[in-house]
Each structure stands twice: as C-alpha cells, then as structure tokens.
Amino acid sequence: MLDLLLAPVLTGIFVALMAGPLGCFVVWRRLAYFGDALAHAALLGVALGLILSVSPQLAIVMSCVVLALLLSQVRQDSQLSADTWLGVLSHGSLAISIIAITVAGAGRVDLYGYLFGDLLAATYRDVILLGFCGLILAAYLIRYWDSLVCLCLNEDLAKVEGIAVERHKVILMIAIAFVTAMAMKLVGALLITALMIIPAASARMLSNGPGRMAVLAMSAALLALGAGMLASFHWDVPTGPSIVTAACLVFMFGKISAKVLSQK
C-alpha cells in the first residue's frame, strides 16, 4: 500500500512546493490566462504524443515549453489584446486536442485522466525529475528573487537597473510551463491553473511581503494537497478535483477569518 502511494504523494508534494511561488508570479504578473493556455497546450502534447508515438510526458513538456516561448515572443496585436489571443489559442488547442485524443487514442487512452488528473499513474521517474528540477528552481528563485520582484513592478526600471528582464521572463515562463506539464497527473489539465492561483490568493491575505507570500502559498498548496488526497481516499472521489476543492476551502476559510479579525 505504502509502496503504491509513495510516488504519487511525493509527486504531489514537489508539484505543490513549486506551484506555490510560481503561482505568486502568475498572480502578480496577471498570467492566469497564460496558465490556462499552457494547460490546454499540454493536452495538445498528449495528442501529438499519441499521433507521433512518442512518450506523452515528453510531448507534454515540449509542447508547453514551445507555447511558452512562442507567447513570450508574440507582440501585441493592434486589433486584439493579448488576452483575446490567448483565449483563441487556449480554447482552440483544447478543442483540437480532445478530438485528436478521442480519435487517435480510442480505447488506449483515458481522456478523463488527462482532464482531471490520475495521480496513481505517477512514477518514481516523475519524482526524480521533479525533485531535480525543483532544486534548480529553488536555487534560481532564491538567487534572483529581488530581480524577479523588481521586474513585476516595472520592467523598464528593472532593465535600467541592469536586470536581464527578457531572460528572466523566458525562464519564468518555462518554469511555469514545466510545472504545468508535471501537474497534469496531479490535478489534470482543466484544474492546473487553480493549483497555482488559489494557494497564492490564500497566501495574499496573511502576507506583508512577497517572500512571505511565496512561502505561505507553498504551505497553502501543501495543506490543500494533504486534505484533498485524504478526502479522495476516504470518500473515493477523484483526487485532482478534491485537491482543488480543498484549496478553495482553505481560501474561503482564510478570507472569512481575515474579515472577522479585521472587524474586531
């Protein structure tokens, strides 16, 4: 039993720890829509993996990273806002990939698992990959934390102060793309953005500094993960949605208690 659960639990913990601080950047830089587009690109990756007969995981990571790089290069169109462009790309890829997965993967692939997560499919290979990338991400965030916060505040100011803004933006996007790809097994394509945004939003209420918010977002994500997984095993409901529901409960609890405290 423990053997069976260890890899999924560790995967969940690593994803939650990475989603916390990256979720803060998603919120600060208003990238929620970008996160959705990435998640849907992950599904497109699944479809491509099936059609080209390569490992779906590799295809997912690759398509997310490619989309992230493409979007970071897209200049604002004069007629359509970036939001609208993302909406077109995001929902377009969702629709196309569902058709492609249904056709190419008929009988072989569990579409439901990709949409809402299939945590038990996590393997030790995932754990090692996540652990390795998590360490790199942690080192990067700690080293460049001030610069990253600065570029959220004003990109021009950051550039004049000698921060390599474009490079950091691309790295952040790739990191978000990677976590999106890895979180697919945990909560599924449709709920990945929630796993980044909700813990960050919960952490905001109790934070007076960006670093504290990132740490609290990690804690909120871990709390949601633990509660969601327990609920999922206890009542035999899907794990991904349970985790996101738990995250929402943490958020609402925090919001209500903050309100009560402020009235006292």
Partner 1 sequence: MTEPFLLKAESLSIHRQGRTLVDKASLSLQAGKVVSLIGPNGAGKTTLIRALMKLLKIDEGHLHIKEGLRIGYMPQKLNLDASLPITVLAFLSLNQKRDEHFFESAEKTDVRCIFERPMQSLSGGELQRVLLCRAILKKPQLLILDEPAQGLDVNGQAELYRLIAQLRDELNCGVLMVSHDLHFVMAATDEVICLNQHICCHGHPEKVSLHPEYLKLFGQQQAANVALYTHHHDHQHGVHGELIEPCNHNH
Among the listed ranges 45-53, 125-133, 158-166, 182-190, the one in contact with partner 1 (CB under 8 A) is 158-166
Nearest of 4, 21, 240, 30 to residue 115 by alpha carbon: 240
Q: What x/- string results for residues 191 through 210 when contact with partner 1 is judged by CB under 8 A? A: ---------xx--x--xxxx
How many residues form the binding site for partner 1 (CB under 8 A)?
28
Among the listed ranges 49-57, 159-167, 239-247, 254-262, the one in contact with partner 1 (CB under 8 A) is 159-167
**Smallest distance, partner 1 to C-beta of residue 214, A:** 11
Write the DSSP symbol of residue 121.
Answer: G
Q: Which of 163, 172, 246, 250 binds partner 1 (CB under 8 A)?
A: 163
**Smallest distance, partner 1 to C-beta of residue 23, A:** 11
Where are the alpha helices (H) located in the chain, listed in sequence order?
A: 2-28, 32-52, 56-73, 82-104, 111-116, 124-153, 155-160, 165-187, 192-204, 210-235, 239-263
Closer Cβ to partner 1, 43 or 213, answer by number: 213
Among the listed ranges 22-30, 52-60, 108-116, 188-196, the one in contact with partner 1 (CB under 8 A) is 22-30
Structure tokens that stand for 115 in this block: 């949409």
Any contact of residue 140 with partner 1 (CB under 8 A)? no
Any contact of residue 73 with partner 1 (CB under 8 A)? no
Closer Cβ to partner 1, 157 or 237, answer by number: 157
Cβ neighbour number for residue 166 with a 10 Å cutoff: 12
How far is Cα 260 from Cα 246, in angstroms, rounded to an integer?
A: 21
Any contact of residue 160 with partner 1 (CB under 8 A)? yes
Q: Which of 47, 150, 195, 218 binds partner 1 (CB under 8 A)?
A: 150
When computed from its CA atoms, the radius of gyration of the chain, rounded to whole angstroms, is: 18
CA dihedral 241→91→111→24, nearest 10 degrees, is: -40
Structure tokens that stand for 189 in this block: 């394509």
Q: Which of 125, 143, 167, 212 binds partner 1 (CB under 8 A)?
A: 212
Among the listed ranges 25-33, 45-53, 91-99, 127-135, the one in contact with partner 1 (CB under 8 A) is 25-33
Any contact of residue 155 with partner 1 (CB under 8 A)? yes
How far is Cα 180 from Cα 197, in angstroms, rounded to an integer?
A: 12
How far is Cα 164 from Cα 160, in angstroms, rounded to an integer?
A: 10
Closer Cβ to partner 1, 9 or 85, answer by number: 85
Assess contact for 239 and 30: CB atoms under 8 A.
Answer: no
Any contact of residue 111 with partner 1 (CB under 8 A)? no
Any contact of residue 157 with partner 1 (CB under 8 A)? yes
Nearest of 236, 230, 242 to residue 194 by alpha carbon: 242
Residues making contact with partner 1 (CB under 8 A): 27-30, 78, 146-147, 149-150, 152-157, 159-161, 163, 200-201, 204, 207-210, 212-213
